[in-house]
Amino acid sequence: MLNDTHHPGLRSWVASANAAGTDFPIQNLPFAVFRRQRSSEPWRGGVAIGDQIVDLAALAQSGVLQGQAAAAAQAGAQDKLNALMALGTAAWSALRLALSRALREGSPEQAALQACLVPQAEAEYAVPARIGDYTDFYTSVHHATNIGKQFRPDNPLLPNYKWVPIGYHGRASSIGVSGQQFRRPLGQTMPPGATVPSFGPCKRLDIELELGIFIGSGNALGDAVEITEAEDHVFGICLLNDWSARDIQGWEYQPLGPFLAKNFATTVSPWVVTLEALAPYRVPFTRAEGDPQPMAYLDSAANRSGGAFDIQLQVGLQTPQMREAGQLEASICRTNYRHAYWTVAQMVTHHTVNGCNLQPGDLLGSGTLSGPTLDQAGALIELTTGGKHPLTLPGGEQRTWLEDGDRVVLRGWCEKTGAARIGFGECVGTVLPARVPKG
């Protein structure tokens, strides 16, 4: 799985890519869709290197690349990455290797590539794919247990949880890219102790720290993707915030599941990190003693030995008061994707086992990625135990749920001895006041 694009000693002629702590060293090479800010330039694909972007449209035109790598750059030059995603692993890998070689110190292609760079500081981003369908899973057993405890203290996990990767179909139209600002949703709620529902702005607005999985090549309707092939259908992983209106959710969700509590906004990071870039950070998928092993269709040797990923995650919160005082966001959660109960491969395989077709650019959410202890919880409903224990921020302000003007920043990165540190950049979203309903 590891090849010479992962070598921790590689250095780029783009100096910022060699800086300690950068999210985008030459070993990462994630994809986004971008253009220069305040321009009418066409949107096109790009690859991050240090604080720069390799413009795939310019690269495709330059004639520097050959064969499969050139075809992949051409596909990535469009306004969404769907065509590149549809090409499959061999094409993505060829482009990664060609870019890795061209961006290395001493590359004869330096001058040609230099002409294709756009500074990230001058760029704006779009949602990276035309997302046909969005499915949100529920793969953290810790999240499912924490939430379940609030409703069923003695029996928090429903009996299906350890057998079925639970998910629901979300909405693609309201997915926005980092920087998204959205209005606090209005809706129906049933206040505690009331006998008739109320209508008004959501009072329990929450975050969900998740990863997003972009599907690459799809499968035909009626066909299933075997677990041994599942990861070949995955283009890469981004950060995802699945904003949630808990009071609306509590009233509406039975019997068919989440609806308006979830579909008003979902924010993704612009950068999509490929599974190939994540190869050094694979970890075994294990099950606690006494838990059922996955059914045969959800089990494979590769999934057991390295189907999980060691991705560190953080949630930051910046209130308007902090912003005015020039304070950066405060960390309210640190956790890791390795604690998930189901893997990426299991999500893809389970989604298609009934013949459901996935298509290039489809998005899967991991579900809230809470870790084993409460400080590793990826949602306020867990961090505050259902709103009972507010968080105290460094400046002394308290938060139970999100307030207007609050800005939430998700970050993700991978690091360990013997491998290059790689990161996901940021996924930022800001809550705006609710719309005033027409009287």
Residue-wise burial string across 122-159, b where 16 or more C-beta atoms lie within 10 A, e elsewhere = ebbbbbbbbbbbbbbbbbbbbbbbbbbbeeeeeebeee
Minimal distance, residue 180 CB to Mn ion, in Å: 16
Omega cis (within 30) before 255: yes
Minimal distance, residue 242 CB to Mn ion, in Å: 4
Would you say how long the chain is, in residues?
439
Minimal distance, residue 136 CB to Mn ion, in Å: 4
Structural element, H or E, at residue 312:
strand 312-318
**Which of 219, 241 has the CB closer to Mn ion?**
241
**Which of 208, 252 has the CB closer to Mn ion?**
208
Show the site string, 91-130: x = touches Mn ion by CB under 5 A, - = not: ----------------------------------------
Is residue 346 within 8 Å of residue 227, measured between CB atoms? yes
- Which of left, alpha, beta for 121 (phi over 0: left; psi -120 to 50: alpha)? alpha
Give the count of residues interacting with Mn ion (CB under 5 A).
3
**Which of 136, 362 has the CB closer to Mn ion?**
136
d(CA 100, CA 119): 18
Is residue 25 within 8 Å of residue 13, measured between CB atoms? no
**Which of 244, 300 has the CB closer to Mn ion?**
244
Minimal distance, residue 230 CB to Mn ion, in Å: 21
Q: Which of 6, 142, 143, 351 is catalytic?
A: 143
Beta partners for residue 56, in sequence order:
none
Contact status: 206 vs Mn ion (CB under 5 A): no
Cβ neighbours of residue 79 closer than 8 Å, sequence gap 6 or more: 33, 42, 43, 44, 126
| Span of 25-33, 237-245, 294-302, 355-363 interacting with Mn ion by CB under 5 A | 237-245
Is residue 313 within 8 Å of residue 375, measured between CB atoms? no
Contact status: 242 vs Mn ion (CB under 5 A): yes
**Which of 208, 406 has the CB closer to Mn ion?**
208
| Span of 18-26, 76-84, 113-121, 135-143 interacting with Mn ion by CB under 5 A | 135-143
DSSP symbols for 350-415: HHHTTSPPP-TT-EEE------SSGGG-SSHHHHTTTTTS-EE-TTS-EESS--TT-EEEEEEEE-
**Which of 217, 263 has the CB closer to Mn ion?**
263
Is residue 282 within 8 Å of residue 416, measured between CB atoms? no
The residue number with the shortest CB distance to Mn ion is 242
| Span of 25-33, 159-167, 235-243, 315-323 interacting with Mn ion by CB under 5 A | 235-243
Q: Is 345 helix (H, G, I), strand (E, B) or coil?
A: helix
Contact status: 208 vs Mn ion (CB under 5 A): yes
- Strand 422-432 to 180-183 pairing: parallel
| Span of 15-23, 201-209, 230-238, 286-294 interacting with Mn ion by CB under 5 A | 201-209
Minimal distance, residue 102 CB to Mn ion, in Å: 39
Minimal distance, residue 170 CB to Mn ion, in Å: 8
Minimal distance, residue 212 CB to Mn ion, in Å: 10
Q: Pick one of 55, 109, 136, 231: the residue that binds Mn ion (CB under 5 A).
A: 136
> Which 25-64 positions form the footprint of Mn ion (CB under 5 A)?
none
Minimal distance, residue 210 CB to Mn ion, in Å: 6
d(CA 308, CA 345): 9
> Which residue do the tokens 């057998």 mark?
163
**Which of 187, 367 has the CB closer to Mn ion?**
367
| Span of 171-179, 207-215, 317-325, 391-399 interacting with Mn ion by CB under 5 A | 207-215
3-state helix, strand, coil in the chain (%, to 5): 25, 25, 50
| Span of 241-249, 291-299, 304-312, 371-379 interacting with Mn ion by CB under 5 A | 241-249
d(CA 145, CA 156): 5
Is residue 360 within 8 Å of residue 234, measured between CB atoms? no
**Which of 209, 272 has the CB closer to Mn ion?**
209
Known catalytic membership, residue 143: yes
Q: Which residues bind Mn ion (CB under 5 A)?
A: 136, 208, 242
Catalytic positions, please?
143
